[in-house]
Amino acid sequence: MYDWNDLRFFLELSRQGKLVRAAARLQVDHTTVSRRITALEKQLDVRLFDKSPRGYQLTDAGLRLLPLAEQIETQSNQLYQEIAGKDAWLGGTVRVAAPEALGSQVIARHISVFRDQHPDIEIELVAETRRMSLSKREADIAISFSRPESGRLIAWKLCDYRLRLYATRAYLTTHAPIAAPEDLSRHGFVSYIDDLIEMPELRFFDNTIKNAHVVFRSTNVSAQYNAILAGIGLGLVHCFMAHREERLQVVLPAQISVERTYWLLVHEDLRQVARVDAVCKFLTRILKENTELMMGD
């Protein structure tokens, strides 16, 4: 038999990725974490982690153990809550993977509200427009452009959002007038790098603006946004990014509009974990409450 107390050390190291950070969360010395992990690996006769310059990564055996250990943790927390009647178990780290624009411009702006409600829950926000695997526990929660068609994932719609064509007011006063889509051929544009787009939902530019003369490309939404603000051309911008910027003006609003949807995804093994559930409810609430912002109405 193994010492099931060692599972606490296994779970924290899998979430933090580094001995020192896991030790700080558990309020022990980092050598204690290392010793308990070594003992658990010896008792189970498997290697649970690979060590790399990036920290500790779960092996295949570690990935198989993770959902089982989380179930034990959840049941232990439920037992404590029901017997002791306390909510102290609403703590720990939750990693959220979200598209860059949404993460940096919407979620991050509301974190203080969540912190006031759940001071013991630490949110790690991975705000990048790339796929992250919930099955491999690269994140606990993901916000995606589409609903998954397979896998042990629970998903629900968060909100619709809109992108419009924008340029700075200064650009529009110093360049050829734009009264119809045909006039766009005389202007430069900002967009993504075509061969580095991972998600088909981001390939909206060519379908919206035909034969555009692109003068600047980036995988980074903030870089595109800042290039548009610098006045080098026009670009499709999320309405929730542009609404605070008085220098920007919508171009051809009646003719050019792109609508997409954000979906929240969580692995079914984590759905009932209290800290994960709290973050899921927080993300759902802030996006439901900001419908006009997301749609640019």
What is the per-residue pLDDT for 242?
Answer: 95
- 191 beta partners: 217
3-state secondary structure the chain: CCCCCHHHHHHHHHHHCCHHHHHHHHCCCHHHHHHHHHHHHHHHCCCCEEEECCEEEECHHHHHHHHHHHHHHHHHHHHHHHHHCCCCCCCEEEEEEECHHHHHHHHHHHHHHHHHHCCCEEEEEEECCCCCCCCCCCCCEEEECCCCCCCCEEEEEEEEEEEEEEEEHHHHHHCCCCCCHHHHHHCEEEECCHHHCCCHHHCCHHHHCCCCEEEEECCCHHHHHHHHHCCCCEEEEEHHHHCCCCCEEECCCCCCEEEEEEEEEEECCCCCCHHHHHHHHHHHHHHHCCHHHHHCC
CA 99 – CA 199 distance, rounded (Å): 11
What is the per-residue pLDDT for 226?
Answer: 97
How many domains in the chain? 3
Q: How far is CA 63 from CA 46, 49, 69, 83, 273, in A?
A: 12, 9, 10, 31, 17
287 occurs within a structural domain = yes
CA 108 – CA 125 distance, rounded (Å): 8
- State whether 167 and 248 are in the same domain: yes
Write the pLDDT tens digit of every residue in 106-130: 999 999 999 999 999 999 999 987 7
What is the per-residue pLDDT for 297?
Answer: 75
pLDDT at 76 over 80: no
CA 288 – CA 282 distance, rounded (Å): 10
- State whether 176 and 51 are in the same domain: no
Give the residue-averaged pLDDT of 1-5: 75
Domain CATH number, residue 223: 3.40.190.10
Return the axis-axis angle of helices 6-16 and 30-44, rounded to nearest 10°: 110
pLDDT at 1 over 70: no
74 occurs within a structural domain = yes
Range of the domain at 150: 92-159+261-295
- State whether 244 and 166 are in the same domain: yes
- State whether 207 and 277 are in the same domain: no
1 occurs within a structural domain = no
- State whether 186 and 240 are in the same domain: yes
CA 68 – CA 61 distance, rounded (Å): 11
Q: Are 164 and 94 in contact (CB under 8 A)?
A: no
Q: Are 90 and 121 in contact (CB under 8 A)?
A: yes
What is the per-residue pLDDT for 88?
Answer: 45
Backbone phi, then psi, for 214, in 5-degree steps?
Answer: -85, 125
- State whether 123 and 177 are in the same domain: no
Q: How confident is the model at residue 86 (pLDDT cuts 50, 70, 90)?
A: very low
pLDDT at 15 over 80: yes
20 occurs within a structural domain = yes
What is the per-residue pLDDT for 87?
Answer: 38
- State whether 14 and 55 are in the same domain: yes
What is the per-residue pLDDT for 84?
Answer: 56
Between 204 and 182, residue with greater pLDDT: 182
